[in-house]
Amino acid sequence: MLNKNKVIVGMSGGVDSTVAAYELKRLGYEVIGVNMRLWQDDFLEDAHLLKDGGCCSLSSVEDARRVCEQIGIPFYALDFKAVFKETVVDYFIEAYKNGETPNPCIACNKHVKFEALLEKAHQLGAYYVATGHYADIKFDETLNRYVVEKAKAVEKDQTYALYNLTQDQLKHILMPLARFTSKEEVRQIAAQFDVQMSQKSDSQEICFVPDQDYVGFLKRNAEYDIVPGKFVDGEGNLLGEHQGIVNYTVGQRKGLGITFGKPMYVVDIDPDLNRVVLGENEAVFKTELWANEVNFILMDRLDGPYRCEAKIRYSAKPAPCLIEQHGDRVHVTFDTPQRAVTPGQAVVFYKDQYLVGGGTIIRK
């Protein structure tokens, strides 16, 4: 029998997870802090580049241990290296091979934090897993299902990375930072503990590429070769040589290595022909997209066309659109053209404050 008063908190030693654990303890839960040991790039470890990295750095174990001691909860480190490598790192490497721009945080939430960690929590007799995410999970009596609302601390809202959560998972997840209206409030509570107050782990940087050089990472860890190819225009006319498709993302202007006398942007990446299509600014805007690997939170699936808003990247503003499900795919039509619709990134749907669901943008 799982204990509904027992909760496992993923602890990085940072501000958010520390306050999440503290809040739960304050609310009377039996809280157990767990630091998730994740896969690291040996090269960076050897070069000592991981020392002060993000949430997955080596020092995070000791940071988390110290904070748990201060809060007065037990602390353990658990190994998630294999599952992280398989579901996050390998996916990341494969996505670039396919000309996509991956979102490893979403993969990690889906497979590691809310699947593998939840499984460990259950093995420890705990009903709940909690994280320091800014999002609000509620049970809606009318819908008879769990729903996710945007965080009250709007500027910190992390629902974008949580659209994959299933009803079965949501039942077992607590996100105690939901009640805070700003990060500042959270930081004030964290100040009583010996935590890393720096903002760096907040950024969208990739925890297993702390030096930000993902191309270098791919060179070391991918089993495929990064092969130079052709820049072409929309009609297929040769514009120049590119350094391998993994170097580019849709909407990119800088770092193309050639000048054209007018601003040129990456419009499309074709992995089959190893080509990068360039175009002028207006070519980067699209009104439509397709997504696969779709998950809906507010409903099991769409019955018909559905009016809502959608974000095509973490930092984007939700834009009004009409979405329609076709089998396991979703077609999205925006009211106004969107800049840099990027295959591999997530499109996430919202209705007012509710997280409706989302999927992975595909090339077609």
Partner 1 sequence: MNRLYLDYAATTPVKPEIVEAMLPYFSDFSLSEVDAIYKDCADTLARCLNAPASTITFTPSGSFSNNLLIKGLANYGKGKGKGTHILTTVIEHPAVGNVFKHLGDLGFQVEVIPVDHKGYVDLNYLEKCIRPETALVSVMMVNNELGTRQPIEAISRLCRLNEVLLHVDAVQALGNIPLDLELLDVDAMTFSAHKVYAPKGCGAHYIKPALQHLIEPLIYGEEPCGFNLPYIVGFARAVVMATEQLESRSTHKHLLKEKLRVGLEGLELGIKVNGNPDHPGILNVYIPSRDGDTMVINYDMYGIAISSGSACSSGALNASHVLRAIGYSEAEAKRCIRYAVGDMTTEEEIDRVIDITRKILKG
Residues designated catalytic: 108, 207
Contact range with partner 1 by CB under 8 A, out of 75-83, 149-157, 174-182, 309-317: 75-83
Residues 6 or more apart whose CB falls under 8 angstroms from that of 106 comprise: 161, 163, 164, 346
Contact range with partner 1 by CB under 8 A, out of 69-77, 184-192, 271-279, 308-316: 69-77
Instruction: Please tell me the distance from the alpha carbon of residue 194 to that of residue 69, in angstroms, as a whole number.
Output: 10
DSSP H helical segments within the chain, as ranges? Answer: 15-26, 42-46, 59-71, 81-84, 90-97, 104-108, 117-123, 167-170, 183-190, 214-221
Among 49, 58, 77, 316, the residue binding partner 1 under the rule CB under 8 A is 77
Q: Residue 225: what residue type?
A: D
Contact range with partner 1 by CB under 8 A, out of 78-86, 146-154, 246-254, 312-320: 78-86
Contact range with partner 1 by CB under 8 A, out of 9-17, 51-59, 79-87, 142-150: 79-87
Instruction: Please tell me the distance from the alpha carbon of residue 278 to that of residue 239, in angstroms, as a whole number.
Output: 8
The answer to whether residue 58 forms part of the interface with partner 1 (CB under 8 A) is: no
Nearer to partner 1, 37 or 97 (CB): 37
Instruction: Please tell me the distance from the alpha carbon of residue 122 to that of residue 120, in angstroms, as a whole number.
Output: 5
Nearer to partner 1, 51 or 81 (CB): 81
Helix (H) or strand (E) holding 342: none
Residues 6 or more apart whose CB falls under 8 angstroms from that of 300 comprise: none
List the interface residues with partner 1, window 297-326 (CB under 8 A). Answer: none
The answer to whether residue 85 forms part of the interface with partner 1 (CB under 8 A) is: no
How many residues sit close enough to partner 1 to count as binding (CB under 8 A)?
14
Among 42, 62, 125, 295, the residue binding partner 1 under the rule CB under 8 A is 125
The answer to whether residue 76 forms part of the interface with partner 1 (CB under 8 A) is: yes
The answer to whether residue 62 forms part of the interface with partner 1 (CB under 8 A) is: no
The answer to whether residue 78 forms part of the interface with partner 1 (CB under 8 A) is: yes
List the interface residues with partner 1, window 13-42 (CB under 8 A). Answer: 32, 37
First-residue to last-residue Cα distance in the chain? 46
DSSP-assigned states of every residue in 205-258: --TT-TTS-HHHHHHHH-SS----EEEE-TT--EEEEES-GGG--TT--TT-S-
Nearer to partner 1, 207 or 289 (CB): 207
Find out whether 66 and 14 touch, Cβ atoms under 8 Å: no
CB of 8 to partner 1, least distance (A): 10
Q: Which residues bind partner 1 (CB under 8 A)?
A: 1, 32, 37, 74, 76-79, 81-82, 120, 123-125
